Structure 1
Amino acid sequence: MKTLGYYNGKYGELEEMTVPMNDRVCWFGDGVYDAGPARNYKIFAIDEHVDRFFNSAGLLDIQVPVTKEELKEILQEMVNKMDTGNLFVYYQVTRGTGIRNHVFTEGPGNLWITLRPAEISDGEKPIKLITTEDTRFLHCNIKTLNLIPSCMASEKARKAGCQEAVFYRPGGRVTECAHSNVHIIRDGKLVTAPADNLILPGIARAHLIRMCERLGIPVSETPYTLEDLFSAQEVIVTSSSNLCLHADEIDGRPVGGKNRELLEKLRTALLEEFYEATKEE
């Protein structure tokens, strides 16, 4: 199959799938999600993604209708049905189905899964960024379906000819991007925003930190500002879809390009980790 969808046990091509109008996602965006790449029919970092998925659901008191192991089995079974093994694997759970009511719907949630062909970027080509004020709520550590501010920021970036938007809070503290984490290299050290309630603790972010530790590169999980961003040796953007990108322009101003050796060491090491974990048997 070229694409594949799943809804509470029902399968089909994405354009053929339908969901109940009373699914709470339609009324409130009431749910959480997770996603990641697959290559050669192997889902990368599946345990980490599923753990985060269940953690997000738990923080909102949403009952996932399957166990972690059952979810992983369903995902792998669906991946095996696809025409290509290089995919974007997305899954979400919504609180349930019922007449619109702000009070929670009781019982297990609804499980959605979508698969489509996708490739991981090698990160060689630099990207362009814009900055925009972070007007989101204070639960950014939960991977919820309420993504309007991120959608607005992503569209703003597109109109500016850029690939991502960097959020900042009052006082200039950089948090993350619309759908990525952002980090800087400063004085040969990786500086990344702390995993508090203002950012989503990205799986790719965790892999970047671990790779730095493996390579002997110091890491500081501390807040940094727009001023730090513009003066950084390098600006790195990570996500599950793009493991290690770098920026050469923000708001039309040139950035980075001052520690290419360290950047390249990280980029190649992260790609090699991904290729090794998803190599063809």
Structure 2
Amino acid sequence: MIEVRELSKRYGAVRAVDGLSFEVRPGYVAGFLGPNGAGKSTTMRAVLGLDTPTSGSALVNGRRYADIRRPMVEVGALLDANAVHGGRSAVNHLRCLARSNGIGTARVVQVLEQVGLAGAAGRRVSALSLGMKQRLGVAAALLGDPGVLLFDEPVNGLDPEGIRWIRDLMRGLAAEGRTVLVSSHLMSEMAVTADRVVVIGRGRLIVETSMKDLADRFRRDVLVRTPDPAGLRRVLERAGARVAEEGDALVVQGLDAAGIADAAADRRIAVHELTPRSASLEDAYLELTEDSVEFRTEAVAR
């Protein structure tokens, strides 16, 4: 698991991370969200021993990364797809990493095939597209078959097929019982990938919760379709609900789906659809981080 405990990191007068605490356990994908400058990359670098905390700790399986003898066997990471020696071939890049951690060369072949780069194994890294470099970075993260994985903006440069592939990969890794932390600004992608979210702003924790609980927190209304909208509206309004029309449906606030169903059943009114609706992850994220955005742009006039 990943444990961040009261983590703080200063760069001179700038506090990039400020008393941050959260944990990521095995078996689910955790989305790590926050505005630019929120401290996400700094936190991930602290977990991987690339930045030394000013105070607090960032641990993998209860230990500092620097204390793990063969780190790639326990934790894999993709932080920057371009942080690779451009003169090496893809296969030699992975062979160097494998040798440094006592990993056999057969595993290099396996991960190249797993990420779809077997046909480009001999090409120089400098000749690879950004999407191919992303795949190579994923291959490096998977090289030691680790139980803990961290990905920072892993879909950058990927085409639609590649985005679906990385989504399925992360969910598959979590289903195998691994710990997966992924940072992204693509809310639409996180909405279909992550099981839990950790949202931070200005280096501090805003919320750590499941996607289900987040949806419940930002529940908007219930969409209802019935052959007797006038009759059901009267029933629901008597029960204290606020009811409006949306096309051929009713939009109900103040009662949940179960309460609407019970009220309709009591009056023997048929209901053909009950759809609870929540704010999108993007809308929820923007509301949560409204006071934490450091770099704002003016709205475009229409």
Relative to the length of structure 2, the TM-score reads: 0.24
Q: More helix by proportion, 1 or 2?
A: 2
